[in-house]
C-alpha cells in the first residue's frame, strides 16, 4: 500500500484493490494520461468476469472547447460512453465516462467534445487502436480478433479508418517515377492494381481491377495529394495494353519502360513451350523444365552436368534457350544506339529460327520496341513491386484470403504505404 502525507498525518489515498494489488487512482490517471478536468472517480474489478471497469468524470463547472471552432463553452449536457482499453494484465479493461456536449458560443450549434483518450465515434481507446495497428502488420485480422476477443469487422473498421485518414495527409508532390503492377485478390481473374513511387519505394495508390480506368483513378488520386500528372517522367509496368493506353492518356510527358523481369518471363515461357512440344518425342527432356528456366551461373553441379549432356543432342530446346540467354545481354549494352542495333540483330536471328514460340515472343518484343529500349535510359524495373507483392500475397495466404478488395488494399497500405498514422506509443 502506498501512503501519502497530508498536514502531518499519514493517510491512505483512494485505491483499487485487485486481489493482492493496491493501485492509487492518481496512478491510474497518470497511466491513462488524464489531466484537468478529467479524473478517475470509480473503479470496479471482477475476478470472476476477469474484467476491470474504470469510470472517469469531469469536475463540475468545467469548460470545454468546441470541436469545430475551438470556442470555449460550458457543458450543455452529457452522455455516457464506454471504450475498450488495453488489458490490465490478463483482464479486459473498459473506460466509462460522461462525455459533455457544448452549445457553441460562436454559433456552431450543440457539439460533443473530443475526449483525450479516444477518437470520436470509436468504441476503443487510442492506445488499444495503436495495438491493433501494430499487430495487423504481423498477424491476420481474424487472429487478432480471436486474441483480443473482438469481432473482426470491428478490427477492420479501425484499420480502414487510420489508413484512410493517413492517406489524406500524404504528400505526393515529389513523385516523378511510377511503377504499376497487378496482384491477385482471389482465385480466378480477380486483381487489384498497385501504383508505387519508385524513388521512395512506397505504395501510392491501390485500385480494384486492371483495366485502363485504374490508371485514370491513380492520376486523379495523385493530384488530390499534391502531385502533378504532367510531372511524371517515367513509368514502369508489364506489357498489359490497359496500362500502356492508360499511361499515354493520363501522363503525357511520361516515357514507358517495360519491366525487364516481365520481358524475360515472356522468353522463359517461349522456351518452356518449345521444350514441351519437343519432349513428346525426346525422352531426355522429361523432368528438365526448371533447368531451362535458370541462368547457367545458378545451376548446381549436378544440373550443369545434365545440361552438358543435353547439349550433345542437338535439341531445339537448347537452341531456344541460347536465344533467351543472348537476349539477356541487351541489358548490358552501354547506350540506346547500341541497344537498338543489338535488338535488330537478335530479332533477325530469332525470326529465322523456325521455332514458333520463340518467334511469337520476338514479335511481342518488336511490338514494344521503344518501351524496351527506354530501359537503357531509365534503368527502372518493377523489382521492388514484386518484393512488396510477395509480402502482400504472404499476408493474404496467412489470412486465407480477404472478403473484399478494400480489405486487401488496406493491408497493402499497411505493408508498403509508409504512412504516418499519428498513433500514441
| C-alpha dihedral sign at 334, 337, 338, 342 | positive
pLDDT tens per residue across span 134-152? 999 889 999 999 999 999 9
How many Å apart are CA 98 and CA 56, to the nearest integer? 7
Instruction: Inform me whether the pLDDT recorded for 18 exceeds 50.
Output: no
How many Å apart are CA 423 and CA 97, to the nearest integer? 22
Q: What's the pLDDT score for residue 15?
A: 52
Same domain, 360 and 268: yes
For residue 402, give the C-alpha cell: 480477404
Same domain, 363 and 401: no
C-alpha separations of 231 from 169, 179, 217 in Å: 20, 15, 17
User: Does the predicted model carry a pTM greater than 0.95?
Assistant: no
Same domain, 239 and 137: yes
Same domain, 205 and 345: no
User: Please, which pLDDT band fits residue 3 given cuts at 50, 70 and 90?
Assistant: very low
54 contacts 92 by C-beta, under 8 angstroms: no
Same domain, 171 and 286: no
- Domain edge (last residue) among 89, 123, 157: 123
Q: Which residues pair with 143 in a beta bridge?
A: none
Same domain, 308 and 404: no
135 contacts 150 by C-beta, under 8 angstroms: no
How many Å apart are CA 87 and CA 90, to the nearest integer? 6
- Domain edge (last residue) among 95, 123, 151: 123
Question: Is it true that the peptide bond before 37 is cis, omega within 30 degrees of 0?
Answer: yes
Query: What 3-state DSSP class applies to 86?
Result: strand
User: Please, which pLDDT band fits residue 8 given cuts at 50, 70 and 90?
Assistant: low
Same domain, 294 and 355: yes
C-alpha separations of 111 from 81, 104, 161, 212, 283 in Å: 15, 7, 22, 45, 80
* Residue-number span of the structural domain to which 151 is assigned: 124-255+383-425
* Count of the separate structural domains present in the chain: 3
pLDDT tens per residue across span 325-368? 999 999 999 999 999 999 999 999 999 999 999 999 999 999 99
Same domain, 128 and 225: yes
C-alpha separations of 379 from 148, 199, 233 in Å: 47, 12, 13
Q: What's the pLDDT score for residue 13?
A: 54
Q: What's the pLDDT score for residue 23?
A: 59
Q: What's the pLDDT score for residue 74?
A: 82
Q: What's the pLDDT score for residue 2?
A: 45
Query: What 3-state DSSP class applies to 37?
Result: coil
Same domain, 117 and 47: yes
Same domain, 227 and 168: yes
Q: What's the pLDDT score for residue 109?
A: 87
Same domain, 169 and 288: no
Same domain, 112 and 76: yes
Choose among 202, 204, 206: nearest CA to 192.
206
What CATH number did the domain enclosing 173 receive?
3.30.420.10
User: Please, which pLDDT band fits residue 407 given cuts at 50, 70 and 90?
Assistant: very high
Amino acid at each position: 500500500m502506498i501512503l501519502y502525507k497530508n498536514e502531518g498525518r499519514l493517510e491512505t489515498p483512494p485505491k483499487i484493490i485487485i486481489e493482492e494489488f493496491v493501485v492509487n487512482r492518481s496512478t491510474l490517471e497518470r497511466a491513462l494520461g488524464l489531466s484537468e478536468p478529467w479524473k478517475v472517480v470509480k473503479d470496479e474489478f471482477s475476478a470472476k468476469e476477469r474484467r476491470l471497469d474504470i469510470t472517469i468524470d469531469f469536475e463540475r463547472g468545467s469548460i470545454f472547447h468546441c470541436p469545430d471552432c475551438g470556442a470555449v463553452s460550458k457543458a450543455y449536457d452529457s452522455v455516457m460512453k464506454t471504450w475498450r482499453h488495453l488489458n490490465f494484465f490478463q483482464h479486459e479493461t473498459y473506460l466509462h465516462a460522461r462525455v459533455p456536449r457544448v452549445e457553441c458560443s460562436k454559433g456552431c450549434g450543440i457539439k460533443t467534445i473530443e475526449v483525450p483518450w479516444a477518437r470520436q465515434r470509436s468504441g476503443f481507446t487510442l492506445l488499444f487502436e495503436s495495438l491493433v495497428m501494430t499487430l495487423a502488420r504481423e498477424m491476420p485480422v481474424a487472429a487478432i480478433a480471436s486474441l483480443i476477443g473482438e469481432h473482426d469487422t470491428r478490427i477492420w473498421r479501425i484499420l480502414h479508418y487510420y489508413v484512410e485518414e493517413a492517406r489524406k495527409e500524404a504528400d505526393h508532390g515529389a513523385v516523378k517515377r511510377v511503377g504499376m503492377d497487378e496482384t491477385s485478390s482471389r482465385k480466378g481473374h480477380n486483381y487489384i492494381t498497385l501504383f508505387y513511387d519508385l524513388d521512395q519505394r512506397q505504395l501510392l495508390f491501390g485500385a480494384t481491377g486492371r483495366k485502363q480506368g485504374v490508371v485514370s483513378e491513380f492520376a486523379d488520386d495523385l493530384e488530390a495529394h499534391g502531385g502533378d500528372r504532367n510531372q511524371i517522367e517515367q513509368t514502369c509496368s508489364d506489357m498489359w495494353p490497359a496500362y500502356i493506353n492508360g499511361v499515354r492518356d493520363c501522363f503525357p510527358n511520361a516515357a514507358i519502360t517495360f519491366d525487364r523481369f516481365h520481358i524475360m518471363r515472356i522468353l522463359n515461357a517461349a522456351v518452356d513451350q518449345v521444350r514441351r512440344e519437343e519432349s513428346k518425342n525426346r525422352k531426355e527432356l522429361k523432368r528438365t523444365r526448371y533447368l531451362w528456366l535458370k541462368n547457367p551461373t545458378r545451376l548446381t553441379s549436378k544440373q550443369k552436368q545434365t545440361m552438358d549432356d543435353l547439349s550433345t543432342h542437338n535439341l531445339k530446346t537448347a537452341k531456344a534457350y541460347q536465344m533467351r540467354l543472348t537476349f539477356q545481354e541487351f541489358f548490358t549494352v552501354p547506350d540506346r544506339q547500341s541497344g537498338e542495333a543489338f535488338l535488330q540483330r537478335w530479332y533477325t536471328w530469332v525470326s529465322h529460327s523456325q521455332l514458333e514460340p520463340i518467334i511469337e515472343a520476338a514479335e511481342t518484343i518488336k511490338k514494344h520496341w521503344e518501351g524496351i529500349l527506354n530501359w537503357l535510359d531509365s534503368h527502372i524495373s518493377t523489382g521492388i513491386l514484386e518484393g512488396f507483392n510477395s509480402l502482400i500475397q504472404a499476408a493474404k495466404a496467412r489470412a486465407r484470403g480477404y472478403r473484399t478488395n478494400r480489405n486487401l488494399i488496406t493491408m497493402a497500405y499497411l505493408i508498403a504505404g509508409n504512412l504516418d498514422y499519428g498513433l500514441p506509443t
